[in-house]
Amino acid sequence: MSGTAGTAPAAPRQGAAIADPVLRADGLDAGYLPGINILNNCSLEAGKGELVGIIGPNGAGKSTLLKSLFGLVNIRKGSVTLNGRDVTALKTNQLVREGVGFVPQTNNVFPSLSIEENLQMGLFLRPKQFAERIEEMWELFPMLADRRRQLAGSLSGGERQSVAMARALMMQPSVLLLDEPSAGLSPVRQDETFIRTRQINQTGVTIIMVEQNARRCLQICDRAYVLDQGTNAYEGPGRELANDPRVIELYLGTLAADVEGKARAAAQDAD
């Protein structure tokens, strides 16, 4: 790692509070089986309009964290606040009503329903707004508009991801939780997904995104959290974390190789 000497390491979690966070998780313990916590004192916050990334190794608890924020995993300790209000004990349908949207990592469409019906499901709490909301979704995802009657089960992975995202956006969430939106997509489709995620974020939707593609995630997010074994390891601005030698060493093996390669090339140029 000598090639990265001199890079200022990002600070470990300092608990620096964001003024008026849209969503704040404080000291969460959560898990599936009695007596076994997957999340251990895990905290996170997202300010209005932020794009926040979550990275970390397989099994670190990233999906569990998102599911806890969406009422799908039992929170045993700690609290979640949404726009300053305690929502720790709310159920998923109540969280949807309060403005939280979630796109899961897998099984994120109803395969036997058409694209249009999938989007309809996203708005079942406010059916009267369907006509207006769906027009907005067709504008955001024109490729779905052309195929609105096609069964979601016959779509490609990327198209399904778009359907799932559009369905979550039907309710105009104030915060959108995305679990690995680029998983299983070709590099070109991954880029499209990241660009679309940023576009949605720029319309004012706060986004918390778990990503396997850590390098790309850190490039586009405002801030990020690195989780390790269900707890916060590091956090900071995305670009800072991407250059933090400890993050590189722990989680971004391929990036480490790249950085060292570039450092070697720079040293050779200087010779």
Ligand X SMILES: Nc1ncnc2c1ncn2[C@@H]1O[C@H](COP(=O)(O)OP(=O)(O)OP(=O)(O)O)[C@@H](O)[C@H]1O
Question: Which residues contact ligand X (rule: CB under 6 A)?
Answer: 32-33, 38, 56, 58-64
The smaller minimum CB distance to ligand X, of residues 61 and 99, is found at 61
- Distance, in Å, from the CA atom of 86 to the CA atom of 70, rounded to the nearest integer, reads 13
Binding at 231: pick from Mg ion, ligand X, none (beta carbon under 5-8 Å per type): none
Angle between helices 130-140 and 157-169 (to 10 degrees): 140
Q: Which long-range contacts (CB under 8 A, 24 or more apart) does 260-269 make?
A: 260/1, 260/3, 260/4, 262/3, 263/2, 263/3, 263/4, 264/3, 267/3
Query: To the nearest whole angstrom, how small is the minimum distance from the Cβ of residue 200 to ligand X?
Result: 22
CA 71 to CA 191: how far, in whole Å?
Answer: 30
C-alpha span between 182 and 104 (Å, rounded): 12
Picked from Mg ion, ligand X, none, the partner binding residue 38 (CB below 5 to 8 A depending on kind) is ligand X
Residue 133 binds: one of Mg ion, ligand X, none (C-beta under 5 to 8 A by kind): none
Segment interacting with Mg ion, rule: CB under 5 A, options 12-20, 33-41, 57-65, 127-135: 57-65
Q: Which does 60 bind (CB under 5 to 8 A by kind): ligand X, Mg ion, none?
A: ligand X
Residue 64: contacted member of Mg ion, ligand X, none (CB under 5 to 8 Å, by partner type): ligand X
For residues 68 and 25, is the Cβ–Cβ distance under 8 A?
yes
- 32 or 124: whose CB is closer to ligand X? 32
Give the contacts of 143 (CB within 8 A, at least 6 positions apart).
159, 162
The CA radius of gyration of the chain, in Å to the nearest whole number, is 19
Output the smallest distance, CB 228 to ligand X, in A: 10
| Sole window of 56-64, 82-90, 158-166, 236-244 interacting with Mg ion (rule: CB under 5 A) | 56-64
Q: Which of ligand X, Mg ion, none lies near 59, with the C-beta cut-off 5 to 8 A by kind? A: ligand X
Q: Count residues contacting Mg ion (CB under 5 A)? A: 2
Query: Which of Mg ion, ligand X, none does residue 167 bind (CB under 5 to 8 Å by kind)?
Result: none
**Which residue, 56 or 158, is less far from ligand X as judged by CB?**
56
Site stretch for Mg ion (CB under 5 A), options 10-18, 60-68, 122-130, 185-193: 60-68
Task: Output 33 or 270, the one with its CB closest to ligand X.
Answer: 33
> Alpha helix locations (H) across 170-212?
187-202
Contact between 49 and 206 (Cβ < 8 Å): yes
Binding-site member from 4, 43, 63, 201 for Mg ion (CB under 5 A): 63
Q: Which is nearer to ligand X, 59 or 153 (CB)?
A: 59
Contacts of 46 (CB under 8 A, 6+ apart): 18, 21, 22, 23, 24, 52, 175, 206, 207, 208
- State the residues that interact with Mg ion by CB under 5 A: 62-63
